[in-house]
Amino acid sequence: MLYTSTRRKLNPITATKAILQGISSEGGLFVPTKLPKMDFTVDELSKWSYQEIAYRVMRLFFDEIQDEDLKYCINHAYDEKFDTKEIAPLVHTKTGHFLELFHGPTIAFKDMALSILPYLMLTSKRYNGEEKDIVILTATSGDTGKAALEGFANVAGTKIIVFFPQDGVSEVQKQQMLTTEGENTCVIGVRGNFDDCQSTVKEIFQDQVFAEELSSKNYKFSSANSINVGRLVPQVAYYFAAYGKMLRDGKVVAGEAMNVVVPTGNFGNILAAYYAKEMGLPIGKLICASNSNKVLFDFFESGTYDRNRPFFLTESPSMDILISSNLERLLYHISGEDTELVSDMMTALKEEGKYAVTDKMREGLKDFYGGYADDVKTKAYIKKVYEEEGYLMDTHTAVAYAVYDDYLKETKDETPTVIVSTASPYKFTHSVMTALDSKYEEIGDFKLLEEMHHLIKGDMPKAMDQIETRKIWHKEVCDVSQMKEMVRKFLV
Ligand SMILES: *Cc1c(COP(=O)(O)O)cnc(C)c1O
C-alpha cells in the first residue's frame, strides 16, 4: 500500500513516510494509491473488540508496519485513557443510535486518532531512520489542539506547537490547552479565526527556506491535523466498529445498509466514513451536517464551493470552518484521480475563494446529503432530545441530530442511521445548559459543570476534574503575521 499526492503525480511513497511528512511538498494531501477492500465479514465485526477491529482495518492501509508494531500502537492508544472498555460505545435512545466518540482523555472525538498518532509517528521515525526531532505544528478550532497536546506531551523526540483562534474556542477548550504541562509543548492564541491559523500553518509547512533552517537545527515538521494520513486512517476503524455494534444489537441484519450522520468541519470524520464505504462496509447515505458556516451544504446543493461569505462564531466552534481541507481528498477520488484538475481547483480556492466541480464529479457525490442547523435550532434539539429521551447531546452532536431530523422529514428514508457524537456535553457546558434553561445564561462554563453533573448519570469525566484551578502554563498571544516568528522563537 503506497501513497501519492492529490495535486501531483509523484513516485508513490510508503505510509510511514507520508505520516512523517504530513503534507506533500507542493501542498497536496497524501492519499492511498488504491483504497483497500475489507478482508473480513460483518459478522466478525460484531464479535471483535475495538482494538481487534482497529488492527484489521489499519493493517490494510499500513501493511508496511509489522503486525507486532501495529498492535503495540493500537494497544497503547486505546487503553485505560478511555473511560470505557468499549472505546467507542453505541448508545440507543428512542429515536437515535449515537456513536459516542468522546470517551478519551480530552472528551472529544479527536482523541480517537490523536491517541494513536504519536505511536505511529515514532514507529515511522524508526522505520525511516529519521533522527531529527519531529515538530508537530497544528492549527486547532479547539479540540484537535488539546487532543494533540495530550498525545505528544513528554513524548521523547517530539515537540508540539499549537495555534488556536484566541476568541474562537470555548472557555473549557481554552483552559484545557493553556494548562497543558510538558517541556516540549507550546500553545499560542492567535488574533484571527481558525481558517487564518490553518492557512498560515500550511504556508509554514511549504516554506522550504524555513524548513532548511530548522533542519540544520535538527528539526523536521509534521502535522497532527486531519491532513495527516496517520490521523485519517484510525478514524476509518470506528465506522466498522459501529456497524458491528448495530449488528450485535439487532439494529441491522448482516449486509443491510446503515446511514451515518456526521457533524462536519474539516471533512476528516466524514471522509473516513466514505473510505469505510468504499472498502465495502454497507454504508448507505453519508449525511454531512454543518452549522451556520454552511459552505459544505451549499457545495452539495450547487456543486460550487465558495468560501466568500461571512464567517460565524457559533456554539459548535469545532465546526466553524470555511475551508474544509479533507474535501480535497474526496475531489481527488471522484475526479478519477485527476491531479491536474484538483490542483487547479485548489489554486482557484486560494486565489478566488471558490471552484466548481464538473458534472462527472457531481455523480460521485450522489451518496452525500448536506444539511445545516443554526444555533437556535441546534439548542432546540438539545432540549427536545433531553426532555423526551433523557439523552444530553453536546452542540456538535445536536447539529447532526437536527440535520438527521430534516433528512428524515424530507426523504422518509428508514435506513438504520448512526449519529456520530463527537463531544461530551461537559465540554460545552454553557451552550448545553442554556439550551435547557435560559436561567443559566449569566453563569460561566466552569460553574455549570456541577449543575450538568446532576443531569447526567455516571462520573464526571477526569478531563474536567479541577479544571478551573489548574495552573496556566501558556500565556502567549500573537497576530497571524507573527506565527512563523513564534515557531522560530520556541525552537531556537
Ligand atoms: C473536529 C470536530 C468536528 C469536525 O470534524 P471534522 O473531521 O473536522 O469534520 C466535529 N465535532 C467536534 C466536537 C470536533 O472536535
Q: What is the mean pLDDT of each run of 10 residues along the chain (492 residues)?
A: 95 95 91 97 98 98 98 96 96 97 95 95 96 93 90 92 93 92 95 92 91 94 89 98 98 98 97 98 98 98 97 93 95 98 97 97 97 98 97 98 98 98 95 97 91 90 90 96 96 86
- CA–centroid distance, 396 to ligand 1, in Å, is 8
Pick the atom of ligand 1 nearest to 110's CA.
Answer: 15
pTM recorded for the entire structure: 0.94
Ligand 1 pocket, residue 226 CB under 6 Å? yes
Ligand 1 pocket, residue 225 CB under 6 Å? no
Pick the atom of ligand 1 nearest to 226's CA.
Answer: 7
Which active-site residues does the annotation give?
110
Ligand 1 pocket, residue 106 CB under 6 Å? no
- CA–centroid distance, 172 to ligand 1, in Å, is 16
The SS3 call for residue 466 is coil
Burial class (CB in 10 A: 0-12, 13-18, 19+), 114: buried
- CA–centroid distance, 225 to ligand 1, in Å, is 11
**pLDDT for the residue numbered 445:** 86
Alpha carbons 460 and 83: distance in angstroms, whole number: 11
Length of the chain: 492
- How many C-beta atoms surround the C-beta of residue 351 within 10 A? 9
Ligand 1 pocket, residue 111 CB under 6 Å? no
Pick the atom of ligand 1 nearest to 396's CA.
Answer: 11
**pLDDT for the residue numbered 227:** 87
Q: What angle do CA 95, 98, 103 make, to 5 degrees?
A: 150
- How many C-beta atoms surround the C-beta of residue 90 within 10 A? 22
Alpha carbons 222 and 16: distance in angstroms, whole number: 12
The DSSP secondary-structure symbol of 464 reads G
**For ligand 1, mutation pick of 109, 197, 321, 324 (most atoms within 8 Å of CB):** 109
Of 144, 393, 198, 146, the C-alpha closest to 289 is 393
**pLDDT for the residue numbered 438:** 95
Ligand 1 pocket, residue 423 CB under 6 Å? yes
C-beta of residue 467 within 8 angstroms of C-beta of residue 448: no
Ligand 1 pocket, residue 325 CB under 6 Å? no
Closest protein CA for atom 1 of ligand 1? 318
**pLDDT for the residue numbered 250:** 98
**pLDDT for the residue numbered 206:** 87
CA distances from 405 to 292, 409, 440, 450 (A): 17, 6, 27, 31
- Compute the chain's Rg from CA coordinates: 21
Ligand 1 pocket, residue 108 CB under 6 Å? yes
C-beta of residue 193 within 8 angstroms of C-beta of residue 164: no
**pLDDT for the residue numbered 78:** 97
**pLDDT for the residue numbered 361:** 97
Q: Residue 234: what residue type?
A: P
Closest protein CA for atom 8 of ligand 1? 266
**pLDDT for the residue numbered 139:** 92
Alpha carbons within 13 angstroms on the beta-carbon side of residue 326 total: 21
- CA–centroid distance, 341 to ligand 1, in Å, is 27
- CA–centroid distance, 210 to ligand 1, in Å, is 30
Q: Residue 420: what residue type?
A: V
**pLDDT for the residue numbered 261:** 98
- CA–centroid distance, 168 to ligand 1, in Å, is 14
Which H or E run contains 103? none
Pick the atom of ligand 1 nearest to 271's CA.
Answer: 7
Of 150, 148, 195, the C-alpha closest to 168 is 195
- How many C-beta atoms surround the C-beta of residue 293 within 10 A? 24
**For ligand 1, mutation pick of 143, 225, 393, 426 (most atoms within 8 Å of CB):** 143
- CA–centroid distance, 336 to ligand 1, in Å, is 27
CA distances from 410 to 243, 265, 369, 404, 406 (A): 25, 23, 11, 10, 6
C-beta of residue 87 within 8 angstroms of C-beta of residue 97: no
Provide the grid cell at 477.
498571544
Provide the grid cell at 159.
515537540
CA distances from 92 to 250, 288, 308, 454 (A): 11, 21, 40, 21
Q: What angle do CA 478, 480, 484 make, to 5 degrees?
A: 85
Provide the grid cell at 60.
490494510
Ligand 1 pocket, residue 314 CB under 6 Å? no
Alpha carbons 222 and 186: distance in angstroms, whole number: 15
Ligand 1 pocket, residue 170 CB under 6 Å? no
Q: Helix, strand, coil % (nearest 5) of the chain?
A: 45, 15, 35
Helix axes 171-178, 143-152, angle to 10 degrees: 20
- CA–centroid distance, 143 to ligand 1, in Å, is 8
Alpha carbons 59 and 265: distance in angstroms, whole number: 27
Ligand 1 pocket, residue 292 CB under 6 Å? no
**pLDDT for the residue numbered 93:** 97
Ligand 1 pocket, residue 318 CB under 6 Å? yes
Pick the atom of ligand 1 nearest to 265's CA.
Answer: 9
